[in-house]
């Protein structure tokens, strides 16, 4: 394009309303020139007209043209040569890419893991296998419409208005101190955790907390006890860290190690004592003592994952296992995924006093934590009482949904299915007898637009428990009974030739 016609070409572009009307003029001129460069209409080395002549020809102020040129210069689309004007740069920031970037998902192929390490293969094992479509009873989905978005935005804005420079840095020394103080107080009062503020570390959620424990406390080939059935994501991260997994059955008192299990000495024990995942029972006092004493005798570490104890609908709150520990063997962890939202990626890890220094530097060296501004807003959210209010509201909503679901599923007893008696958490377990094919029943439910998970998917080995995991946090209260009745009919149809 010759110099002289650039202004004519720009006038045509601007008059064709290619850009939103609300866009400022300098921005539209910038976009038009950038587009011309990207499309090759303006070749590398082309000299642009002077700002003065362009401003005359386009009838806009010279400052408007200067602002457009400045942005093109800043982003590297054009280069200025003193005394001889502005040229289209030879090395373009976007490499003259004309094709939009594809957003299509790449289908996994059998050879896709070629070249991955053993750790990489273990980590990538579940990729693409899970559908992320959310349906009314999808387990693990919360009701984000309950989240006080306006309030949260106000608290974030308050931090951004005049941010203390330290908030923009990496998160040092275990995280933002006022947040660690607020968490310590909450855990001391609500969960009977025995701690000082120094023992609290802010992490990017439970998954990262478990990863940190595995990396800092175990070596490749060490043994880890896990609950069976149990939390598959914890299993994955332990496996990726090279741990040899040893499944331990659960009964109605929680993790239930047998004599044979006791002989398989672990370095790490992962457990969910307040609300066994996914079955929901609370670990009994006797079992807690047994586990703590055993861990001390073998110098094993216990990871206590207290992921949803905010959602206990009746009875007193359950005390933490950590609070009973006299020997500093328990690492306690919690998350803001359930009470705030999963994408916040914030959780906490309470480590025994003798591990504080190593964990703080381990966290810093391995993760380079950050998001301190969000940590500061969260500290205000807790300190100003919004956290407690939000939990109270969620608890009421979820308790009501749970009751409605229990009511509409009650008829499944006719075909020998049992509703778990547990009264907490965000999902309900419908238990089947061992010989029932729970994957088939879950598939039947999916055909009715209800995604529920087969309990056998959470187990390891031949004799997996059978049933369905049904989440009730996501569906609107007014729809629970309707969908609950559909699910009850699916279960009855799936188990119909059986007698209770
Ligand atoms: C047993 C258990 N622990 C922890 C979490 C939360 O993990 P994160 O904090 O990594 O989101 C979940 C989420 O579903 C869970 O089921």
Give the residue, out of 209, 273, 335, 338, with the most ligand 1 atoms within 8 A of its beta carbon, to mutate for a pocket test: 335
Query: In whole angstroms, how large is the CA radius of gyration of the chain?
Result: 29
DSSP assigned state of 175: S
pLDDT confidence of 413, banded at 50, 70, 90? very high
Q: How far is 367 from 153, CA to CA, in rounded Å?
A: 27
Q: Any idea of the CA torsion for 171, 174, 175, 177, to the nearest 10 degrees?
A: -130
Say what the pLDDT of residue 102 is: 62
Fold of 389-494: 3.90.1150
Locate 186 and state its tokens. 């909450």
Residue nearest ligand 1's atom 12 by CA: 307
Residue 332 backbone dihedrals phi, psi, to 5 degrees: -100, 135
The predicted-structure confidence for 39-60, as pLDDT tens digits, reads as follows 778 888 888 888 888 888 888 8
Q: Which helix (H) or strand (E) holds 51?
A: helix 51-58
| Ligand 1 pocket by Cβ (under 6 Å) | 140, 205-207, 231, 272, 277, 305, 307, 335, 337, 342, 347
Q: How far is 90 from 78, CA to CA, in rounded Å?
A: 8
Say what the pLDDT of residue 223 is: 98
**Residue ranges of the chain assigned to CATH 3.40.640.10:** 171-369
The predicted-structure confidence for 126-174, as pLDDT tens digits, reads as follows 654 455 667 889 998 888 888 999 999 999 999 999 888 999 999 988 9
Say what the pLDDT of residue 88 is: 87
Query: What would be the CATH architecture of the domain defined by 3-88?
Result: Orthogonal Bundle (1.10)
Q: How far is 136 from 254, CA to CA, in rounded Å?
A: 29
**SS3 of the chain: helix, strand, coil, percent, to 5:** 45, 15, 40
Q: Report whether CATH 3.40.1110.10 matches the domain 171-369.
A: no
Is the confidence at residue 277, as pLDDT, over 60? yes
Rounded to the nearest angstrom, the distance between the alpha carbon of 99 and the centre of ligand 1 is 39
Buried b (16+ CB within 10 A) or exposed e, 215-226: ebbbeeebbbbb
Say what the pLDDT of residue 126 is: 60
Give the residue, out of 214, 228, 229, 233, with the most ligand 1 atoms within 8 A of its beta carbon, to mutate for a pocket test: 233
Q: How far is 280 from 418, CA to CA, in rounded Å?
A: 14
Q: Please give the C-alpha separations between residue 80 and each of 38, 47, 72, in angstroms, as whole numbers.
A: 18, 10, 10
Rounded to the nearest angstrom, the distance between the alpha carbon of 237 and the centre of ligand 1 is 12
Rounded to the nearest angstrom, the distance between the alpha carbon of 360 and the centre of ligand 1 is 22
**Residue ranges of the chain assigned to CATH 1.10.10.10:** 3-88
Locate 154 and state its tokens. 């106000």
Is the confidence at residue 327, as pLDDT, over 70? yes
Residue 216 backbone dihedrals phi, psi, to 5 degrees: -90, -20
């Amino acid at each position: 394009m010759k110099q002289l016609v650039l202004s004519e070409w720009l006038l045509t572009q601007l008059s064709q309303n290619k850009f939103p009307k609300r866009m400022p003029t300098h921005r539209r001129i910038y976009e038009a020139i950038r587009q011309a460069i990207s499309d090759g209409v303006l070749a590398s080395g082309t000299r642009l007209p002077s700002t003065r002549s362009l401003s005359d020809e386009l009838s806009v102020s010279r400052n408007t043209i200067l602002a457009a040129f400045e942005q093109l210069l800043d982003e590297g689309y054009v280069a200025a040569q003193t005394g001889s004007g502005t040229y289209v740069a030879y090395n373009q920031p976007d490499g003259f890419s004309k094709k939009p970037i594809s957003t299509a998902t790449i289908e996994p192929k059998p050879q896709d893991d070629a070249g991955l390490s053993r750790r990489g293969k273990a980590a990538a094992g579940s990729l693409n296998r899970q559908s992320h479509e959310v349906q009314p009873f999808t387990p693990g989905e919360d009701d984000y419409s309950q989240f006080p978005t306006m309030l949260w935005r106000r608290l974030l804005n308050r931090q951004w208005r005049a941010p203390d420079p330290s908030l923009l840095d990496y998160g040092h020394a275990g995280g933002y101190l006022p947040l660690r103080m607020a968490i310590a107080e909450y855990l001391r009062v609500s969960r009977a955790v025995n701690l000082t503020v120094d023992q609290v570390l802010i992490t990017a959620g439970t998954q990262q907390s478990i990863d940190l424990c595995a990396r800092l406390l175990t070596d490749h080939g060490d043994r880890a006890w896990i609950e069976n059935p149990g939390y598959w994501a914890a299993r994955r991260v332990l496996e990726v860290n090279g741990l040899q997994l040893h499944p331990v059955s659960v009964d109605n008192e929680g993790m239930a190690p047998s004599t044979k299990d006791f002989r398989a000495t672990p370095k790490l024990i992962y457990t969910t004592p307040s609300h066994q995942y996914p079955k929901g029972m609370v670990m009994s006092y006797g079992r807690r003592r047994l586990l703590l004493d055993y861990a001390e005798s073998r110098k094993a570490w216990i990871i206590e994952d207290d992921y949803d104890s905010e959602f206990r609908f009746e009875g007193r709150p359950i005390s933490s296992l950590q609070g009973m520990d006299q020997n500093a063997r328990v690492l306690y962890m919690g998350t803001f995924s359930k009470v705030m939202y999963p994408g916040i990626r914030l959780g906490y890890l309470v480590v025994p006093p003798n591990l504080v220094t190593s964990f703080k530097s381990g966290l810093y060296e391995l993760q380079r934590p950050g998001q301190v501004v969000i940590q500061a807003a969260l500290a205000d959210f807790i300190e100003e009482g919004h956290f407690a209010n939000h939990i109270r509201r969620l608890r009421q909503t979820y308790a009501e949904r749970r009751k409605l679901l229990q009511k509409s599923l009650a008829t499944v007893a006719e075909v020998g299915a049992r509703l778990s008696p547990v009264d907490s958490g965000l999902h309900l377990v419908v238990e089947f007898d061992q010989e029932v094919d729970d994957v088939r029943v879950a598939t039947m439910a999916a055909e009715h637009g209800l995604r529920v998970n087969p309990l056998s998917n959470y187990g390891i080995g031949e004799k997996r428990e059978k049933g369905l995991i049904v989440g009730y946090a996501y569906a609107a209260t007014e729809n629970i009974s309707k969908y609950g009745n559909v699910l009850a009919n699916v279960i009855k149809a799936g188990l119909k030739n059986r007698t209770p």
